[in-house]
């Protein structure tokens, strides 16, 4: 059996404060998810918490580079150490972020592993936004959570994009991006870089289970891969508790099937979950739904008879046996879907960082401003009562 080890990485250093007098609430996400029995339901080992440096933009101004860069760099190196130790124990890491800058630590850990085994490690990037802003396509950078994919593919300032002299952590051809919106502002840049993408419309057309298998096939030359999941891949009609909700996302049932398919192979080395903000979830309903989805999606990892986690030689990806299920893929969400109003975050005093010259830009999730087992290839019809939406 593959034992899951849950590691909290409650950093919010990669996001801009929602207001001049508050801080992002995603640092509270690991605790909120644990409160809903995540570890017990996964039968996971508690791998502890890596406490981040204090959130303090200080006198940072637009044009100064990435805010909190020294702190993020140091935190990423420490996080890579913790992830590496979990994998060395033969366990499957589940990292609970925090914002998307968590990916830098995971990426550094994967690059170290790849070097150790003499193979390349890939990345499956499941996110509602491409997070691909960098100095080559933007007037300035500032929030690592909206630049994480650019940074881990070697684009950006060396103290983040080349920690330990490693650059890039993932090669462009070893990255698969799933779930971005059809009109993502950097979609053409991804295409030009040769990064494989499947936006929401294509993901739905093929189905979540088949998309997971397709992602395996894109990374067949890699020794293994890491999975990044930003919960803003979900539509805000079902999960608005993120810093930048964007209509046109997927349903919980689709994420569950996708996650189950991605982890149902020994090539998958671990998963991270990011950007859930409990400040926008006062009654805990969204945390409960996220936990339900993660528990069901990770069921193949700890299923009896599953292949122990290990780095594999490059070659065809094999999946662990699972029960057949003839139910169809979930129907897509109706569009357009309005995003409900956010609940104001509680105020915590920090120093103002000054006006933002790109305040009118759509900066995505970096805006420094305010079941079930995996189904067979034919998929599964989710329970509408569980998803909280009408997907018929």
Element housing 121 (H / E): strand 121-126
* DSSP codes of every residue in 299-322: HHHHSTTPPPP----SSPPP----
Question: Looking at the domain assignment, is residue 55 inside a domain?
Answer: yes
Per DSSP, helices labelled H in the chain are: 29-34, 38-42, 69-88, 102-117, 148-152, 158-161, 187-193, 200-206, 208-218, 252-263, 285-297, 299-302, 384-387
Laid out side by side, the sheet with 175-178 consists of 45-49, 4-9, 92-97, 268-274, 224-230, 121-126, 175-178, 196-198
pLDDT tens digits, 90-109: 999 999 999 999 999 999 99
Residue 156: how many other CB atoms lie within 10 Å? 24
Higher pLDDT, 373 or 30: 30
- Quote the CA–CA distance of 76 and 185 in Å, as a whole number: 27
Lowest mean pLDDT among 129-143, 331-345, 373-387: 373-387
Alpha carbon 24 to chain centroid distance?
17
- Quote the CA–CA distance of 26 and 39 in Å, as a whole number: 19
Q: Quick one: average pLDDT of 170-197?
A: 97
Residue 169 structure tokens? 């952590």
| pLDDT at residue 45 in the model | 97
Question: Looking at the domain assignment, is residue 107 inside a domain?
Answer: yes
Residue 333 structure tokens? 């969400």
| pLDDT at residue 375 in the model | 31
> Are residues 211 and 169 in contact, defined by beta-carbon separation less than 8 angstroms?
no
Range of the domain at 217: 4-387
Helix, strand or coil, per DSSP, at residue 349: coil
Question: Looking at the domain assignment, is residue 392 inside a domain?
Answer: no
CATH number of the domain that residue 163 is part of: 3.40.800.10
| pLDDT at residue 325 in the model | 38
Reply yes or no on whether the pLDDT at 64 is more than 90: yes
| pLDDT at residue 257 in the model | 98
- Quote the CA–CA distance of 29 and 102 in Å, as a whole number: 13
| pLDDT at residue 111 in the model | 98
Report pTM: 0.80
Element housing 264 (H / E): none
Higher pLDDT, 12 or 140: 12
- What letter does residue 334 receive in the DSSP assignment? P
The dihedral through the CA atoms of 22, 23, 28, 29 has a sign that is positive
Reply yes or no on whether the pLDDT at 240 is more than 80: yes
- Quote the CA–CA distance of 101 and 84 in Å, as a whole number: 17
Question: Looking at the domain assignment, is residue 127 inside a domain?
Answer: yes
For residue 288, what are the contacts with CB-CB under 8 A and spacing of at least 6? 36
Lowest mean pLDDT among 94-103, 335-344, 347-356: 347-356
CB burial readout 216-232, b (16+ within 10 A) else e: bebbeebbbbbbbbbbb
**Mean pLDDT, rounded, of the chain:** 84
Lowest mean pLDDT among 16-30, 180-194, 309-323: 309-323
Higher pLDDT, 301 or 324: 301
Question: Looking at the domain assignment, is residue 366 inside a domain?
Answer: yes
| pLDDT at residue 311 in the model | 53
The domain tally of the chain equals: 1
Q: Which residues pair with 121 in a beta bridge?
A: 224
Reply yes or no on whether the pLDDT at 359 is more than 70: no
pLDDT tens digits, 253-299: 999 999 999 999 999 999 999 999 999 999 999 999 999 999 999 99
Residue 379 structure tokens? 């998929």
Question: Looking at the domain assignment, is residue 88 inside a domain?
Answer: yes
Q: What is the CA radius of gyration of the chain?
A: 19
> Are residues 227 and 301 in contact, defined by beta-carbon separation less than 8 angstroms?
no
């Amino acid at each position: 059996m593959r034992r899951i080890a849950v590691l909290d990485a409650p950093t919010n250093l990669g996001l801009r404060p929602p207001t001049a007098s508050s801080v992002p609430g995603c640092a509270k996400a690991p605790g909120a998810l644990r409160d809903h029995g995540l570890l017990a339901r996964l039968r996971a080992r508690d791998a502890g918490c890596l406490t981040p440096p204090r959130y303090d933009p200080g006198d940072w101004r637009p044009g100064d580079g990435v805010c909190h860069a020294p702190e993020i760099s140091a935190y990423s190196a420490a996080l890579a150490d913790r992830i590496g130790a979990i994998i060395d124990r033969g366990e499957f890491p589940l990292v609970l972020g925090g914002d998307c800058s968590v990916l830098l630590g995971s990426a550094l850990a994967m690059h170290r592993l790849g070097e150790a085994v003499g193979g390349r490690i890939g990345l499956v990037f499941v996110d509602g936004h491409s997070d691909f802003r960098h100095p080559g396509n933007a007037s300035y950078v500032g929030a690592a959570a909206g630049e994480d994919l650019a940074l881990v593919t070697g684009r950006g300032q060396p103290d983040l994009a080349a920690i330990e002299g490693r650059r890039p952590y993932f090669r462009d051809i070893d990255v698969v991006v799933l779930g971005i919106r059809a009109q993502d502002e950097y979609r053409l840049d991804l295409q030009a870089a040769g990064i494989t993408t499947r936006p929401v419309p294509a993901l739905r057309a093929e189905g979540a289970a088949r998309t997971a298998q397709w992602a395996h096939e894109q990374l067949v030359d890699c020794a293994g891969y890491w999975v990044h999941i930003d919960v803003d891949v979900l539509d805000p009609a079902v999960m608005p508790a993120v810093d930048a909700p964007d209509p046109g996302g997927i349903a919980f049932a689709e994420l569950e099937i996708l996650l189950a398919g991605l982890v149902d192979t020994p090539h998958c080395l671990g998963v991270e979950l990011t950007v859930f903000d409990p400040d926008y979830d006062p009654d805990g309903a969204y945390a409960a739904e996220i936990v339900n989805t993660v528990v069901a999606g990770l069921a193949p990892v700890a299923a009896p008879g599953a292949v122990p986690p290990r780095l594999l030689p490059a070659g065809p990806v094999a999946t662990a046996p699972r029960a057949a299920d003839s139910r169809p893929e979930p129907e897509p969400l109706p569009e357009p879907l309005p995003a409900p109003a956010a609940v104001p975050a509680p105020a915590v005093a920090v120093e103002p960082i000054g006006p933002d010259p790109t305040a009118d830009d759509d900066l995505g999730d970096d805006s420094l401003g305010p079941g079930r087992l995996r189904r067979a290839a034919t998929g599964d019809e989710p329970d509408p009562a569980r998803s909280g939406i009408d997907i018929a």
